[in-house]
Structure 1
Amino acid sequence: MTENKSVKQMIGKVFIDIADAIETGQFGAKIKVGLTTLGSEHGVDNLVKGAELAAKTSTDFDIVLIGPKVDTPLEIVEVNNEEEMHKKMEELLDSGYIKACVTMHYNFPIGVSTVGKVITPGMGREMFLATTTGTSSAHRVEAMVKNAIYGIITAKAMGIENPTVGILNLDGARQTEKALKELNANGYPVNFSESMRSDGGAVMRGNDLLAGTVDVMVSDTLTGNIMMKVFSSYTTGGSYEALGYGYGPGVGEDYKRVILILSRASGVPVVANAIKYAAGLAKGDLVEVAAREFKKAREAKLDEILKGLSKDTKKAAQEDEGEITAPPKEVVTGSISGIDIMDLEDAVKALWKAGIYAESGMGCTGPIVMIAEDKLQEAMRVLAKAGFVAQEGGIC
């Protein structure tokens, strides 16, 4: 009886190994995911426990610890300090020994930023935050446009074929929306979602953050970093990040390493989830997906769109025109939304130049330009031609 049980167990293991090999494409060996174990505010043991939890709950990858020797059944590559640890991590990634790695306090080059993954408290949905660390660009709106692409890339690598996208209602959101809609019109598909609020639109409110209205939420990196911290530790008071999947992989054009970031405050559950996130990205071939998506975006005139976002061109044009004075004052009961706060006064001056009296204001969904009701359509045409709003407009 014991012998028969042993044979059945061996046969079962063989079938599991075959299934793993078919899924990973690596016959005879599972993919390996690294975890560096120095630098946590909660100590080495916190990270090791997270790795062991990931190993217990997932059987389709192996984990390699990079750090000091500890008592664990997991494989260890021994190092003595953080500098040596990151050098060894890069060496293991570049050699292909590990396919992805989770680490802390790692510096990415400009142009690379990380896409975090959270579990939203309202509906328990998973949502990608694009982005949470790093710098996509020194120009705010250009960075947010790139962040959207980075989020789409990451979601696709994780198996979401056509991820929904929303832009958080921040400075630069309307310009980002306009640029992404132009990219979409040029042939790079962006699947815009609608806010859960009654006025809808692709610009998301705080309610959408809590509910997880979209697959990919776009913001600037500093805001994304704050959101990541709040989502991961709102139940613990901030010192221990207990929820979510960490700050995610560094994504950027021609960036070849799959390196995911944790906070030094990340606790055991987040460490375990981050390792699983890394394994999923390795299997989904994040680097190949990024190359493909960037190629499509370039073909859709991404470079031209980004170049057109520079405010220096508009400022130079305004300086050449000299001082623009307002037309005679009118009663302004009509309004146009969809203009970025940074462009609001320039939009007003563009209307003045066209002979339309206008004032700037703030509506419930953000900045607005206020004009006379009977001049709404004409004002919309002027603003669309000048590039302040999308062609379809946003008359309130």
Structure 2
Amino acid sequence: MSENNVKDMIGKVFNDIANSLETGRFGERVRVGITTFGSELGIENIVKGAEIAQKRDDGLEVVLIGEKVDSKLTQEIVKTDEEGYKKMEELLDKGEIGACVTQHYSFPIGVSTVGKVITPGFGREMFIATTTGTSSSHRVEAMVKNGIHGIIAAKAMGIENPAVGILNVDGARQVERIYKELISKGYSINFTESQRADGGAVMRGNDLLIGTPDVMITDTLTGNILMKVFSSFTTGGSFESQGYGYGPGIGEDYDRTILILSRASGTPVVANAISYAADLLRGNLGKFAKEEFEKANKAGLSEILKNSNKEVKKEEIGQEIIAPLKETVTGTIEGIDIMELEDAVKVLWKEGIYAESGMGCTGPIVMVNENRINESLKFLAKAGYDVGEPEDC
């Protein structure tokens, strides 16, 4: 080890001791950067949020990355947003900051961000998994991974066994089915129940407003919209005034802690996003990411995702199946994802059962004659659809 490195280490130790004497929180002081370019509300909006975050947390040092401004905060001076991203990555990779908050950052495929909002029903904090980035190019696979990312963020924030729900969007039932298989193979997921009378792990709009789960799983595009609505509904959409921003980019083997803001994020959200970053560092986000992916992979995540593709089923069903003679269809079968609905109907046609697709108050349904529900359930279960068990006759 060189003399300079030894001096740096000694200097760091003395700084930590000084910080602990000042704050009374030995070993908890963290450094979080924030880039100041790109806000539609101006640099002052970012700087003010950063100053608020540092003022309310004695164990936090905020580092501004951008043009020189009038502030007592530590500053890394750069002239352009491109230089700002490079400086941010350099500081992260050298360990000079533990996390950074920024805008417009391009994450690699496999990484997506977990936002945090305050729900209006009961003022609960809820993680939206996910809000930017792309966990996978396949929708259902992406949502499955989004949920794991959300669990990681929640655990790093101190929630030991976060309650999880799946938003009722395209792919929700397939995601639920994959999670159930993971659970059967040893991966633990704490599914919550919808507040609606029919319950279940698939969440309704009411559950969004109430904040039923700790982690709400959805596709990233929907999650992004939800973040904007939750954050700016009190301002009529003019700027984001509530919540904690779009959150940290999380992915398997991804080791930078970078959190995302919108160009419309106001001062309160800027301050909260920096605090979110500091708490994730204290909670050891990287440790939980490593552990959670190890557990999921041990349960066969990759193989389950590989086998979840329904294209084989579609080919087996074929496109030339003719519907049987029409019957009265007043019986309904729930639990089939909207993207699989027409294929499920054809499964029944192939078995000589007339069926139609429809939309009930809780989501997609297959409609059959009431006297053929049990028979239909057997054929759908055999084809791989998670529709429950037929009743005993």
- Whether the TM-score (by the shorter chain) exceeds 0.5 is yes
Structural mapping, 1:337-352, within 5 Å:
337-352=334-349
Once residues 194 and 67 of structure 2 are traced to their aligned partners in structure 1, the CA distance between those partners, rounded to angstroms, is 48
SS state at 2:121 partner: coil
Find 1:21's aligned residue among 13, 17, 26: 26
SS state at 1:21 partner: coil
Q: 1:236 to 1:376 in 2, by over 3 A?
A: same
Once residues 282 and 130 of structure 2 are traced to their aligned partners in structure 1, the CA distance between those partners, rounded to angstroms, is 21
Could you say which residue in structure 1 is the equivalent of 2:372?
375
Could you say which residue in structure 2 is the equivalent of 1:172?
171
Aligned identity (percent) is 66
Once residues 125 and 393 of structure 1 are traced to their aligned partners in structure 2, the CA distance between those partners, rounded to angstroms, is 38
Once residues 367 and 164 of structure 1 are traced to their aligned partners in structure 2, the CA distance between those partners, rounded to angstroms, is 25
SS state at 2:260 partner: strand
Once residues 91 and 260 of structure 1 are traced to their aligned partners in structure 2, the CA distance between those partners, rounded to angstroms, is 16
CA contact (8 A) 1:137 1:143 kept: yes
The AA in structure 1 aligned to 2:25 is D
Runs of 4+ aligned structure 1 residues displaced above 4 Å come to: 13-18, 390-394
Structure 2 residue runs without a partner (length 5+): 1-17
Q: CA deviation at 1:184?
A: 1.5
> What count of residue pairs does the alignment treat as equivalent?
374
The AA in structure 2 aligned to 1:264 is R
Could you say which residue in structure 2 is the equivalent of 1:160?
159
Q: 1:14 to 1:349 in 2, by over 3 A?
A: closer
Q: CA deviation at 1:391?
A: 4.4
Could you say which residue in structure 2 is the equivalent of 1:309?
308
CA contact (8 A) 2:317 2:346 kept: no
| TM-score, scaled relative to structure 2 | 0.91
Once residues 135 and 156 of structure 2 are traced to their aligned partners in structure 1, the CA distance between those partners, rounded to angstroms, is 19
Structural mapping, 1:17-56, within 5 Å:
17=22, 19-22=24-27, 24=28, 30-56=29-55
RMSD: 1.8
Once residues 390 and 112 of structure 2 are traced to their aligned partners in structure 1, the CA distance between those partners, rounded to angstroms, is 31
CA contact (8 A) 2:23 2:58 kept: no
Could you say which residue in structure 1 is the equivalent of 2:259?
260
CA contact (8 A) 1:338 1:393 kept: no
Once residues 14 and 247 of structure 1 are traced to their aligned partners in structure 2, the CA distance between those partners, rounded to angstroms, is 30
Q: CA deviation at 1:318?
A: 2.7
Q: 1:102 to 1:165 in 2, by over 3 A?
A: same
SS state at 1:368 partner: strand
Once residues 261 and 106 of structure 2 are traced to their aligned partners in structure 1, the CA distance between those partners, rounded to angstroms, is 12
Could you say which residue in structure 2 is the equivalent of 1:211?
210
Q: CA deviation at 1:17?
A: 4.5
Structure 1 residue runs without a partner (length 5+): 1-12, 25-29
Q: CA deviation at 1:238?
A: 1.6
CA contact (8 A) 1:178 1:390 kept: no
SS state at 2:25 partner: helix
Could you say which residue in structure 1 is the equivalent of 2:99?
100
Moved more, 262-271 or 356-365: 356-365
Once residues 389 and 52 of structure 2 are traced to their aligned partners in structure 1, the CA distance between those partners, rounded to angstroms, is 51
Could you say which residue in structure 2 is the equivalent of 1:276?
275
Once residues 147 and 247 of structure 2 are traced to their aligned partners in structure 1, the CA distance between those partners, rounded to angstroms, is 14
Moved more, 178-187 or 78-87: 178-187
| TM-score, scaled relative to structure 1 | 0.91
Moved more, 279-288 or 243-252: 279-288
Q: CA deviation at 1:137?
A: 1.1
The AA in structure 2 aligned to 1:66 is I
